[in-house]
Structure 1
Amino acid sequence: MPAYPDEKELEKQPSHIVANDGVESGAEGEVLYALIAEDREHDIQLRTMSWQKAAWLLAGDQVCLAIMAQTWSLSVLGWVPGLITMVLAGACFWITSITMHKYIMKNPQIKDICDFGYYVFGKSKIAYEFSGAMLLANNILLIGFHVLTGARVINTLSDHSQCTVVFSVITTLMGIILSVPRTLKHISFMSMFSAACMGLAILLFLVFSGIEPAPLYGYGGDYPTLGQVRTYAFPLPGTTWVDCMNAVLNITFLWVPQILFPTFIAEMERPQDFPKSLAVLTGISVFLFIVPPAIGFRYLGQYSTAPAFGSLGIVSYKKASFAFVIVPTVVIGVIYANVTGKYLYFRIMSNSHHAHSNTVLGWGVWVGLMGGIWAIAFIFGSVIPSMGDFLSLLGAAFDSFFGFIYFAVAYWHLYRGKYFSGAYRAIMSIIHIFIMAVGLFLLGPGLYAACEAIIADYRVRARDARIRVMRGQHH
């Protein structure tokens, strides 16, 4: 049976627990402390993450390869529109995340984005199922993307000693093994190592892009067919609306991980401390999402690719910086697999004691789900187009809901009847109207632009394949 939030069970929660330490007073606080007390009685306890571990988990998810696609976005948009988009995306990320947290503290029984959709749209089962379908599609596609990326990293490092499919299988098996831990607290330890490795990869890229004589490759041609490296304030002549929209979507994709946040909050021992974790993440993100891409654009200019490693002109430089990417590639896939697995696991196990106990059946179902999720992701990874186009598609199709629309609706619930009760509230209300408009824009014109870019990408690939065949026949 579908595991919709059980209102009758919530009514049975003990009413003698007193809320404190920043938790909503009254019924919300009582429910939260009852949920924590219940979790303490389980063999497998989920609500165990400190805010520090949550911060590392957030950083492990956000410090990712997509950062290296932002240089390409700047090369399409130019300095002025590019930096404005980055700053606005960061501001929207902080505001919507805080709104989401406030709503969850009002409804502490929320354990994932599906529950969030259920409550925010008036306890709608349709919204719950829609959110679940979107969660599965988004996460499995992203895991598939990481499978493909891992395979390409190993392929590059090994000088193509095996076909990409073999390396995809290796990446998939690594992901399944690392996905066995059931709690996000354990995965947060992996995230620390993951963020450090990605940070090293970014640092090496910046050093190498600065000391090499010239980049090797750009989407418009090899160096120096596009002229000397240069930067520019606005898009170059000939840049289409679809190109610009895809660059914007690429940026918003990087800034919108909130589909995972309700699950993270549900596994914190003090969910009220989530803003502390968020503040750490925002500080890291503001620096890494803007400074390295800007430096990369300065040295690669119109030759920027997504990811930017592809533009490096010296093979040893590319390998040295690319080598560290394999760790965050797999670990981020593990984070998305864990959130996806929990959604499916608790739908299958429902209120069974196996759901929270160390039983053969409980662990068997969990391991089976991990294997199935990664296997499906492996299949999707085989048909993913270029990185930039793929991130744009995800940004339009999913982030429009889980980064903007859901939280604008949550704000409407939180402050109904008080939208203009003061200057600050009026400003925040106007901002959330803007957030809703952005979400609808990404869902409409943004999704159209992403699809157009993918169609064009496949058209170019088909043309290149025909040329190779014709050349082979000629010889």
Structure 2
Amino acid sequence: MAATYSEEKQYPDEEKKISIVVDGVDSDGESIDTITALVQKDHTHEIKLRTMSWQKAAWLLAGDQICLAIMAQTWSLSVLGWVPGMITMVVAGIMFYITSMTMHKFIMKNPQIMDICDFGYYVFGKSRVAYHFTAFMLLANNILLIGFHVLTGAKIINTLSDHSMCTVVFSVIVTLMGIIMSLPRTLKHVSFMSMFSAFFMALAILLFLIFAGKEAAPGYGYNGDYPTAGEVKTYAFPPKGTTWVACMNAVLNITFLWVPQILFPTFISEMERPQDFPKSLAVLAGISAFLFIVPPAIGFRYLGQYATAPAFGSLGVLAYKKASFAFVIVPTLVIGVIYANVSAKFVYFRIMGKSRHAHSNTIVGWGVWAAVMIVIWLVAFIFAEIIPSMGDFLSLLGAAFDSFFGFIFFAVAYWQLYKGNLFNGAGRSAMTVFHIIVMFSGLFLLGPGLYAAVEAIIADYSGATRPAFSCKNLSI
């Protein structure tokens, strides 16, 4: 059996020799032996991490992906129109699935990978610079996303309570709930929460579609209340006057939804059989293909140019808006918990190292875990309060970070897997060309995409902005 790997090291084991996995098939079984050794070592600990089945991993993936961002896709269609919008959605979905499979193959070649930082370390030739750069992006991306969910939770409570209290108070309530829900240390337990998260988000989407079809007309759009912008209409291409910045931000909005791979290495590392991850991914791909395209398309059909992000805000009847938006509080909290868990694990194991407290039910171990989680949520709370337009900053994240975590990393991983064999046969050549396109897509998001995101922030800041720690009503 292959030698075991010390998961507590700051960097992955550079001396480990593991055979290449091509198309999911291990050449001599050594990688499978290594996985078995890693699982056996983990199961000697008091707190066992590598315990998820592929079914639980599928629920975890679904809980992360079935989110409020789905309800922003109708707005993307209203900017891009049917043809560019649907093409972007389908292409993004195809890229997501294939690059996720490339990630899995690379991790099967290097099963000691525990998170996206380890992945970046190996992909870029065991570079410690890449490791630390990826660590910064992981924490910045995740904590800002947690902050976005704190703000979203406050917005939901604002809407339901008719702004009965200061918005900061609502943000504090959401933050405290997030901290409590984040205390479980294994993703197996978090996956249980994800079942409820996915269910309630799906219910919110269903209610929105029913209400959008039932009411006579939408109530509000970014161009004014109905019928300020005329009768509801849809269109094949961007309407006249649509700016390039608006189109680019609509594209970023779509790619942001389809790029959750920053969490996948951590998910895979806590599976009892990481080789089964493609089963979980297939379930997620099927669910995502339906929910990311069909509800937004129906929403665009009924809202047209009055679509907002999220689309709940366009509903004309207040009772409809509250009834559908209310259920989003569950996925808002649970998705925040998922990002907090991944972030806290990275920090926690850097602090605890090889200490027995790292994997044991000790006062020190749980105390440090709770402290790390509290700090993460508090920093996220501060970002939620001081950033005037969190939506614009998410576009900035999508351009700056998703360009790496959704595209560039996996194009390089593919090259590492198949270098010297890139054009061996028609199938391999086609996949090589595909990953070249993936690389250029990532570079495009990093260049023009980042420019568009910055321009949107500048435009928003030129007008009135929400002051820090504001009591302003954020109801949709």
TM-score (norm 2): 0.93
What amino acid is aligned across from residue 258 of structure 1 in structure 2?
Q
Residues 361, 312 of structure 1: alpha-carbon distance in 2 compared, 3 angstrom cutoff:
same
| Cα distance in 2 between the residues matched to 1:420 and 1:459 | 51
Residues 65, 422 of structure 1: alpha-carbon distance in 2 compared, 3 angstrom cutoff:
same
2:341 equivalent to 1:334: no
2:125 equivalent to 1:118: no
User: For 1:189-247, what per-residue CA distance to the aligned partner results, in whole angstroms no more than 9, with x for missing partners?
Assistant: 00000000000000000011111111111111111110001000000111000000000
Unaligned runs of 5+ in 1: 14-20, 466-475
Q: Structure 2 matches for 1:274-423, cutoff 5 A? A: 274-386=277-389, 388-423=391-426
Match of 2:184 among 181, 184, 190: 181
* 1:96 alignment partner in structure 2: 99
29-38 or 250-259, larger mean C-alpha shift: 29-38
* 1:253 alignment partner in structure 2: 256
Residues 304, 383 of structure 1: alpha-carbon distance in 2 compared, 3 angstrom cutoff:
farther
* 2:456 alignment partner in structure 1: 453
SS at match of 1:382: helix
Residues 25, 216 of structure 1: alpha-carbon distance in 2 compared, 3 angstrom cutoff:
same
SS at match of 2:169: helix
| Cα distance in 1 between the residues matched to 2:387 and 2:454 | 13
Match of 2:445 among 425, 442, 446: 442
| Cα distance in 1 between the residues matched to 2:226 and 2:147 | 32
User: Any conservation in 2 of the 1:403–1:439 contact (CA below 8 Å)?
Assistant: yes
* 2:54 alignment partner in structure 1: 51
Match of 1:62 among 65, 69, 76: 65
The Cα of 1:77 is off from its aligned counterpart by 0.2
2:14 equivalent to 1:7: yes
User: For 1:281-338, what per-residue CA distance to the aligned partner results, in whole angstroms no more than 9, with x for missing partners?
Assistant: 0000000000000000011100111000111111000000000000000000000000
The Cα of 1:29 is off from its aligned counterpart by 2.6
The Cα of 1:7 is off from its aligned counterpart by 3.1
Aligned residues: 456
| Cα distance in 2 between the residues matched to 1:23 and 1:344 | 32
| Cα distance in 1 between the residues matched to 2:25 and 2:332 | 36
The Cα of 1:23 is off from its aligned counterpart by 5.6
434-443 or 206-215, larger mean C-alpha shift: 206-215
Residues 382, 2 of structure 1: alpha-carbon distance in 2 compared, 3 angstrom cutoff:
farther
2:145 equivalent to 1:138: no
164-173 or 23-32, larger mean C-alpha shift: 23-32
User: Any conservation in 2 of the 1:23–1:272 contact (CA below 8 Å)?
Assistant: no
User: Any conservation in 1 of the 2:95–2:438 contact (CA below 8 Å)?
Assistant: yes
User: Any conservation in 2 of the 1:249–1:391 contact (CA below 8 Å)?
Assistant: no
The Cα of 1:455 is off from its aligned counterpart by 1.4
What amino acid is aligned across from residue 3 of structure 1 in structure 2?
Q
What amino acid is aligned across from residue 75 of structure 1 in structure 2?
S
| Cα distance in 2 between the residues matched to 1:333 and 1:24 | 39
User: Any conservation in 1 of the 2:349–2:358 contact (CA below 8 Å)?
Assistant: yes
User: Any conservation in 2 of the 1:24–1:105 contact (CA below 8 Å)?
Assistant: no
RMSD of aligned C-alpha atoms? 1.7
SS at match of 2:10: coil
* 1:217 alignment partner in structure 2: 220
User: Any conservation in 1 of the 2:142–2:340 contact (CA below 8 Å)?
Assistant: yes
User: For 1:3-59, what per-residue CA distance to the aligned partner results, in whole angstroms no more than 9, with x for missing partners?
Assistant: 111335x57x9xxxxxxx966634423322111110010000000000000000000
Match of 1:244 among 224, 244, 247: 247
* 2:172 alignment partner in structure 1: 169
* 1:227 alignment partner in structure 2: 230
| Cα distance in 2 between the residues matched to 1:78 and 1:388 | 21
SS at match of 2:293: helix
The Cα of 1:388 is off from its aligned counterpart by 4.6
User: For 1:144-196, what per-residue CA distance to the aligned partner results, in whole angstroms no more than 9, with x for missing partners?
Assistant: 00000000101110110101100000000000000000000000000000000
What amino acid is aligned across from residue 220 of structure 2 in structure 1?
Y
User: Any conservation in 1 of the 2:384–2:390 contact (CA below 8 Å)?
Assistant: no
User: Any conservation in 2 of the 1:385–1:457 contact (CA below 8 Å)?
Assistant: no
SS at match of 2:202: helix
* 2:471 alignment partner in structure 1: none
The Cα of 1:383 is off from its aligned counterpart by 3.1
Structure 1 residue ranges (4+ consecutive) displaced by more than 4 angstroms after TM superposition: 21-24, 385-388
TM-score (norm 1): 0.93
| Cα distance in 1 between the residues matched to 2:200 and 2:290 | 16
| Cα distance in 2 between the residues matched to 1:230 and 1:151 | 32
* 1:75 alignment partner in structure 2: 78
2:34 equivalent to 1:39: no
| Cα distance in 2 between the residues matched to 1:346 and 1:358 | 15
User: For 1:428-472, what per-residue CA distance to the aligned partner results, in whole angstroms no more than 9, with x for missing partners?
Assistant: 00000000000000001101101111111122325x99xxxxxxx
| Cα distance in 2 between the residues matched to 1:400 and 1:170 | 33
Q: Percent identity at matched positions?
A: 75
| Cα distance in 2 between the residues matched to 1:390 and 1:93 | 22
User: Any conservation in 2 of the 1:345–1:365 contact (CA below 8 Å)?
Assistant: yes
* 1:17 alignment partner in structure 2: none
